[in-house]
Amino acid sequence: MPTLICDCNQTMPLQPQTLGAALNETLTLHSALCRREAGAFQKAIQSGDDVVVACTQEKRLFLEVGQQTQGVSSVIKFVNIRETGGWSQDATQASPKIAALLAAAHLPDAEPVATVTYKSAGRLLIVGALDQAEQVAALLADTLDVTIFAQGVSSAPQPGFPGQERQYPVISGGGLSLKGWLGAFEAKWEKNNPIDLDLCTRCNACVAVCPEGAIDLSYQVDSTKCTSHRDCVAVCKVAGAIDFSREPKAATEAFDLVLDLGATPLITLHAPPQGYFALKAAAGLASPGLLATVVKLRDMVGEFEKPKFFAYKQKLCAHSRNETVGCNACVDICSAGAIRSEKSRQQIVVNPNLCVGCGACTTVCPTGALTYAYPRASEQGVRLKTLLSTYAKAGGRHPVLLLHSQGAGQQAIEALGRAARLQKGVRGVPANVIPQPLWHTASVGLDLWLSAMAFGASQVAVLVSDEEAPAYLEGLADQMRVAQTLMNGLGYAGVHFHLVRSEGVQNLAALDARLQALGLARPVVPAVAARFAVAQEKRSTLDMALDHLMAKAPAALPEAIALPAQGAPFGSLVVNADTCTLCLSCVSACPASALQDNPERPQLKFIEKNCVQCGLCASTCPENAITLQPRLLLTPQRKEARVLNEAQPYQCIRCSKPFGTMKAIESMLGKLAGHAMFQGAAADRLKMCGDCRVIDLYSADNEIKITDIR
């Protein structure tokens, strides 16, 4: 796969020999690849090989040239080395980073995954003041089938005047609610307006005659103003549109798209469903964002697809057992309302139509029951290893991996590079800071961060902005506290993980200062890079990363590392032997097989490596005898089964066979001692095994049998 590099009119100090050596390729330096040297691009794509072009600014031009060139079957990939490295005050030292970015661009695209399909016929519901809704509807009615849910008329700076011509269906009422997604919205409301808008002729007689001014030009009655003069009923006797005795009734209607111009949005999620747009239209057609939203709505007719971003393995899920909720991390963090708990099925349910692909649920999931599917963790691992290994091969040191979104994060990085080129008081992205775009910053967490440390990164930073929901920032911060505690506990001094906040292009100086500080930091890292392959299973990846970090630790390891309670995926259990009766209900509740019993004798065994600290065992325990202990045990016993509690078996008083624990049977006998049904022989049967209990019951002469009843 040939690589084409261009110094963009000699504005970047590129070193083709150094870059070529790192890529095992002979590179030719161009200065006007998109203009006078376009022939070199055409020659490369005619070779039949896939081509990497180190330019994203002229991506559209290169694609057009490719389409116009005969006999081209090459796949063309693009990578930005200009704003991310070449346009920086450190550009002369940026060759290792640029080589890493070029090497990552050579990687194959993510494997295809299942898709989620939306079908929209263009049925649009506009909610808001009638006059404003009609103005917006005029921009959309030639493409979409518009219905308006009228919520009065606008009042500022003066009362609105809807058009007299009836151009769009108008509905009204109270209690409007909305659920669904693109192509499948369901609106519910109560028809409680005394004026039937289908019968109303818009003659305005009711508006003129109402002494309280309770009727506006949306032809709805404000019940807080109406004092039941009923003058409006009298003037509408011919049309018969007004009837205060009409019983309210529920109404439901389906729509494909919703434009919400109301004062209070119907859906307040940080990530609303596809096809729902909420705007404050106080300024009418001049409202901010309205034009862009109208353009989007006009294109949302037809069939659409998106990747199914997640994969779910119910058997690994620690959400609930026996109607007891343990881990609720994914439900709590989802800002799209796509995940819910379904008690009847003892699991969580993810709605793929509502999922926006942020991946926060996969990041906070302790077991790996939810995994990110597009791209997969294994594919992300290959990319991280390629970036860091190529950087090291090209002579780079102290690499900082900067993860950012493809939206606001990408814009901030590119704006910083341009400002550095124009000498606007910023230095640009440091030479050892390697930007890496993600679909969403919350999609990568503890397993990949620690893997990056093992692969040679000195720091991992996540660039966040207002795009991220507050819950995402809290989740990332919790994960970083755990990761940092692990690194420091293993002897790697310094700060390795950072949440870098960006105010966007409005405050590039602050972002530049934060990145410069990252570039200068020198935390302790492993002396040798790992070679393992990131697995799709989260726990497997964590184990491999931790094994490498422990093996290369710079000092003697402690016995264990105490972890923060919030977000800790590892830990032990403390069992109160005085209250535990070894009922073993915790064993059946454990989703990770960390708790086990012993078929031969009353024992509760524990494998610490498997524990995910979900808390299901503690919630299930009837004696409240279990306490979680977040930590990472560093001794070999972490992977071995150890006994948390054991007891003397209770022997059957008839056959001497052990059938329970001494403590459990004695506890039961104590609780039932005063019960009228468990006296004498009945009490003795509680001390027998199941077989002897049945034998004793049928052999007793003083027992009434069902065959004796006449």
Q: Could you state, in order of their start, the residue ranges of all structural domains in the chain?
A: 1-78, 83-109+376-551, 119-305, 308-372, 571-646, 649-708
Q: Where are the alpha helices (DSSP H) in 175-334?
A: 205-209, 231-235, 290-298, 329-333
- Structure-token match 């697995």, residue found: 535
- Given pLDDT bands bounded at 50, 70 and 90, which one contains residue 469? very high
Q: What is the pLDDT of residues 19-43, one digit of tens each?
A: 999 999 999 999 999 999 999 999 9
Q: Please tell me the pTM assigned to this model.
A: 0.88
Give me the DSSP letters along 286-305. Answer: GSTTHHHHHHHHHT--EEEE
- Given pLDDT bands bounded at 50, 70 and 90, which one contains residue 282? low
118 and 353 Cβ atoms separated by less than 8 Å: yes
Separation of alpha carbons 494 and 457, rounded Å:
13
Separation of alpha carbons 154 and 112, rounded Å:
48
| pLDDT for the residue 283 | 65
Element (H, E) at 41: helix 38-45
- 43 CB neighbour count, 10 Å cutoff: 12
From the number of C-beta atoms within 10 Å of its C-beta (0-12, 13-18, 19+), residue 252 rates as exposed
| pLDDT for the residue 301 | 97
| pLDDT for the residue 601 | 83
Separation of alpha carbons 702 and 710, rounded Å:
17
Q: What is the pLDDT of residues 522-545, one digit of tens each?
A: 999 999 999 999 999 999 999 999
pLDDT at residue 213 is higher than 60: yes
Element (H, E) at 463: strand 459-464
| CATH topology for the 119-305 domain | FAD/NAD(P)-binding domain (3.50.50)
pLDDT at residue 157 is higher than 70: no
The mean per-residue pLDDT over the stretch 634-638 comes to 94
Helix/strand/coil for 404: strand
What DSSP state is assigned to residue 112?
P
Helix/strand/coil for 435: strand
| CATH topology for the 308-372 domain | Alpha-Beta Plaits (3.30.70)
- Given pLDDT bands bounded at 50, 70 and 90, which one contains residue 583? confident
pLDDT at residue 618 is higher than 90: yes
pLDDT at residue 704 is higher than 70: no
CA triple 219-222-224, angle to 5 deg: 170
| pLDDT for the residue 699 | 82
pLDDT at residue 14 is higher than 60: yes
Q: How far apart are the first and last CA of the chain?
A: 93
| pLDDT for the residue 663 | 78
pLDDT at residue 179 is higher than 80: yes
Tell me which range, 21-25, 342-346, 501-505, is most confidently predicted by mean pLDDT. Answer: 21-25
CATH number of the domain located at residue range(s) 571-646 in this protein:
3.30.70.3270
User: Strand pairing of 249-255 and 641-646?
Assistant: unpaired
CA distances (Å), 141 to each of 152, 284, 300, in order?
Answer: 21, 17, 13
185 and 276 Cβ atoms separated by less than 8 Å: yes
| pLDDT for the residue 597 | 92
- The whole-chain average pLDDT of the chain stands at 92
Length reported for the chain: 710
| pLDDT for the residue 676 | 82
| pLDDT for the residue 710 | 57
Q: What is the pLDDT of residues 558-567, one digit of tens each?
A: 999 999 998 8
Strand order in the sheet with 76-78: 29-30, 3-6, 51-53, 76-78
User: Strand pairing of 51-53 and 29-30?
Assistant: unpaired
User: Strand pairing of 658-661 and 29-30?
Assistant: unpaired
581 and 624 Cβ atoms separated by less than 8 Å: no
pLDDT at residue 434 is higher than 70: yes
| pLDDT for the residue 47 | 83
55 and 384 Cβ atoms separated by less than 8 Å: no
| pLDDT for the residue 324 | 84
Residues whose CB falls within 8 Å of the CB of residue 519, separated by 6 or more in sequence, listed in order: 90, 400, 430, 431, 432, 433
Element (H, E) at 464: strand 459-464
Helix/strand/coil for 119: strand
| pLDDT for the residue 325 | 85
Percent of the chain topping pLDDT 90: 77
Helix/strand/coil for 578: coil
Judged by average pLDDT, the poorest of 222-231, 281-290, 361-370, 388-397 is: 281-290
User: Strand pairing of 603-607 and 249-255?
Assistant: unpaired
User: Strand pairing of 51-53 and 347-350?
Assistant: unpaired
- Given pLDDT bands bounded at 50, 70 and 90, which one contains residue 340? very high
Check for a shared fold between 308-372 and 571-646.
yes
Q: What is the pLDDT of residues 242-255, one digit of tens each?
A: 999 989 999 999 99
The mean per-residue pLDDT over the stretch 176-195 comes to 96
pLDDT at residue 158 is higher than 70: no
